[in-house]
A and B are shown apart, each in its own frame.
Chain A
Amino acid sequence: MSGGVDSSAVAALLHRDGHNIVGLTMQLWNQRRLPELAPDGVVTGRCCSLDDVYDAHYVAQRLGVPYYVVNFEDRFETQVVKPFIDEYLAGRTPIPCTLCNNFIKFDQFLDMAAGVGADKIATGHYARISYDDASGRYQMRKGRDETKDQTYFLFGLTQPQLARTMFPLGGYTKPQVRELARELGLPVAEKPDSQEICFVPNGDYAAFIEAYFREQGIDSQQTRGEIVDTSGRVLGEHAGVHHYTVGQRRGLRVAAREPLYVIATRPAEQKVIVGRNEDLLRSRLVAKEMNWISIAAPDAPRRAQVKIRNKHVAAQAMIHPTSDPTRVEAIFAEPQRAVTPGQGAVFYDGDLVLGGGWIE
């Protein structure tokens, strides 16, 4: 229970349907650690604030169910926050939400829940799980609400994890969930959704990284470098490769006759490479650390739709297994813009989530 309307609705739904539930809020990040990120010292909303805990607790109290706050800060910092920063410094664009799902929500949290006697965990994700007798596999499908579908972030879930998870909101649209919350009398029915990474205030991840460096005593001066074009010509300076992601246009501060976009970053040389829009198009990608969900790993090429970003319309592609079972190649029917290392490549067959991996 994050204190948001989705997880609150889940609690209320399951309670209404007679399940024996316990509500838990995970304390993941101490918002007071990097005080310079909170103007006026006021930390509100987003992850693990007192306000969120208050809201979650209030909902639990209304339902009359036991409620606890559990502290997962150490693992969250090790498994989500540090890799988040390392990925940016390595010139990739990370998805902390997927790491959190893989290592915290559906791992540490799942284990704790089992440890205190729970049969399953339930979250407010817009996704659907079903068991397919024919294949003997748990399958995942997109949530009914396409605009809210969160399966992109869930590509790492394994069969044992899916066996113990429920996504009660998968069949609902967001407006329906809010309506349900209102009907059930939940105080959070109108609470706005959190749009950002939970531990980064105001979505300013570069400021977060700088503040974290200062806290850890790391000198951020050493991340400065040159902005170059595809032929290597120096066009300007940058304050750190972590400020840039593939496809980014703003923040380059380079004078040019046509719009320039970040094509790639080379952290070893502290270089940011920029080019024209056409330079961003790619017709293939390689996904590593593949996790197959609804189907077993294919041994022959097959069609799929591939999402390379959460806000991307899945594109038609052929998936080709490679000699390494953990890596597959995807060849797009049409070249795709801004294929970004560090993001997920998630393969769909319609609304069926086949599986996914990390873009190399």
Chain B
Amino acid sequence: MNRFYFDHNATTPLRPEVLQTLAPALAEVYGNASSIHYYGQIAKQRLEMARRQLAGLLKCDPREVVFVSGGTEADNLAIFGIARQNESARRHAITTSIEHPAVLSAFAQLEREGVDVTYARVGSDGIVDPNEIRRAIRPDTVLISVMHANNEIGTMQPIEEIAAIAKDAGVAFHSDGVQAAGKIPIDAKALGVDLYSISGHKIYAPKGIGALYVRNGITVSKLLHGGRHERDRRPGTENVPGAMALGCAAELSERDAVSENRRIAALRDRLEQGIVDRAPAVGINGARDSRVPNTTNLHFDGIEGEAMVISLDLKGFAVSSGSACSSGAVEPSHVLLAMGLSRELARSSLRFSLGRDNTEAQVDALIEAVAESAAHLRKISPTYTARA
């Protein structure tokens, strides 16, 4: 059976160039970048080359790039790194209700540590109002964290506006850029953020590597304790091959960005329109404009999203629905609920996220499959709806 992957917001395959960088690096660049000898020097050189590539993506100084193990660690380092400074003081922080669990869990932990947290709501379009953030700022606010692009619905948040508000108030501003990098242009200076998270496996680099932009002048207290690596911000022998792969992916995404994202937006629109035309009672979750180019999140009235995912998987199409955690206890998406969708509609939603490897033919095949599965499931469902 042919299989087609439409879940790029969950993760991405390695780009061929990235694999070609990574594989030899694993074999050959094995020195510890802190060692004085030749092997260490080579490793250090490669690491710093990669750092410059990240700086190229972010339009920042290489010294402002910290390599970490992924998006989750980047978020944790940013959030705890700021909020845990000055622990004896009364502290307040602001974030939104639609952040990734890595951010929400970190803030939940901060609350347990005595920090007051305001969770700004979003409208039914899935976008936060900067004024809500402004109104929430207090004299003791130490951190604001708002994601650049949402992973489930793809909506983009008004980062520049919020950054300006944060700067005016003298509050540190972090943005989780995991789903934005590679999809929309990112310029850390133009955005005005103080901290910005990047994840490798969302931009065709491997899992286990990411980066955090930390603006010159901002101090983050360490999460991990050990050596003095990454300018004393993140100890641990550096994953040089990983960083090289991430650097390669970053440079390529920067190079391709405009043409690739235009291509993908057209495919996404084709997919979205195709499904809406072919399957009845389908609605789009979140604002249609103001989205990253590759994502569409749709609800299918009267159908369990879970059943659709399974049905499509059995036909060879990989998509996703809601959020899942490993215990098998699935909750409807907190993002969809925060936007005001009912539990039923949230559970009837699917996310399609396109990538470099998707083609028009694949999109057309997916539209067919979705229409077929939806029709089949709708035909079957009256049986149990009637009983219940």
Contacts and interface: CB of A to CB of B under 8 A. Distances in A.
- Do the two chains belong together in a single complex? yes
Interface of A: 22, 25, 27, 30, 32, 48, 50, 53, 66, 68-71, 73, 75, 78-79, 103, 107-108, 111-112, 114-117
A195 to B, nearest CB: 23
A70 B306 contact: yes
A30 B329 contact: yes
A66 B328 contact: no
Interface of B: 304, 306-307, 310-311, 313-314, 326-330, 373, 376-377, 380-381, 383-384, 387-388
B328 A112 contact: no
A116 B377 CA distance: 7
A115 B329 contact: no
A115 B377 contact: yes
Given A115-B376, A117-B376, A71 B329 contact: yes
A75 B388 contact: yes
Given A66-B314, A115-B376, 18 more contacts: A27-B330, A32-B327, A48-B328, A53-B327, A53-B328, A68-B310, A71-B328, A75-B388, A111-B380, A111-B381, A112-B307, A114-B380, A115-B311, A115-B381, A116-B373, A116-B377, A117-B311, A117-B376
Interface centre among A69, A112, A115 (most CB of B within 10 A): A115
Contacts of A68: 310, 313
B326 A50 contact: yes
A69 B306 CA distance: 9
A68 B312 CA distance: 13
5 contacts: A27-B328, A27-B329, A75-B388, A107-B384, A112-B310
A115 B330 contact: no
Contacts of A48: 328-329
A265 B313 CA distance: 52
Contact of A111 (B306, B314, B326, B383): B383
A30 B381 CA distance: 25
B306 A71 contact: yes
B84 to A, nearest CB: 27
A27 B304 CA distance: 15
A66 B1 CA distance: 13
Nearest to A78: B388
B328 A116 contact: no
Main secondary structure of the interface of B (DSSP, over half): helix
A116 B310 contact: yes
A103 B388 CA distance: 8
B387 A107 contact: yes
B314 A22 contact: yes
A107 B383 CA distance: 8
B311 A111 contact: no
A25 B304 contact: no
B168 to A, nearest CB: 44
B332 to A, nearest CB: 10
Interface centre among B327, B328, B373, B384 (most CB of A within 10 A): B328
Contacts of A75: 388
Contacts of A114: 380
Nearest to A66: B314
Contacts of B388: 75, 78-79, 103
Contacts of B313: 66, 68
Interface centre among A30, A75, A103, A116 (most CB of B within 10 A): A116
Contact of B310 (A27, A70, A108): A70
B326 to A, nearest CB: 7
Interface centre among B314, B383, B384, B387 (most CB of A within 10 A): B384
Contacts of A71: 306, 328-330
A157 to B, nearest CB: 13
Contacts of A103: 387-388
Contacts of A27: 328-330
Closest 6 A/B residue pairs (Cβ) = A69-B328, A116-B311, A71-B330, A27-B328, A115-B377, A115-B380
Contacts of A25: 328
B258 to A, nearest CB: 39
A183 B373 CA distance: 38
Contacts of A79: 388
A115 B329 CA distance: 21
Interface centre among B304, B326, B327 (most CB of A within 10 A): B327
B311 A108 contact: no
Contacts of A22: 310, 314
Nearest to B344: A74
A255 to B, nearest CB: 47
Given A27-B328, A71-B328, A111 B384 contact: yes
B318 to A, nearest CB: 12
A106 B99 CA distance: 39
Given A25-B328, A27-B329, A53-B328, A112 B387 contact: no
B314 to A, nearest CB: 6
Nearest to A103: B387
Contacts of B329: 27, 30, 32, 48, 71, 73
B330 A116 contact: no
A78 B329 CA distance: 16
A50 B380 contact: no
Contact of B384 (A32, A108, A116, A117): A108
B203 to A, nearest CB: 29
Nearest to A24: B310
A66 B316 CA distance: 11
A163 to B, nearest CB: 13
Contacts of B330: 27, 71
Contacts of B306: 70-71
A71 B322 CA distance: 12
Given A66-B313, A117-B376, A112 B304 contact: yes
A68 B305 CA distance: 13
B307 A116 contact: yes
A224 B117 CA distance: 43
Nearest to B376: A115
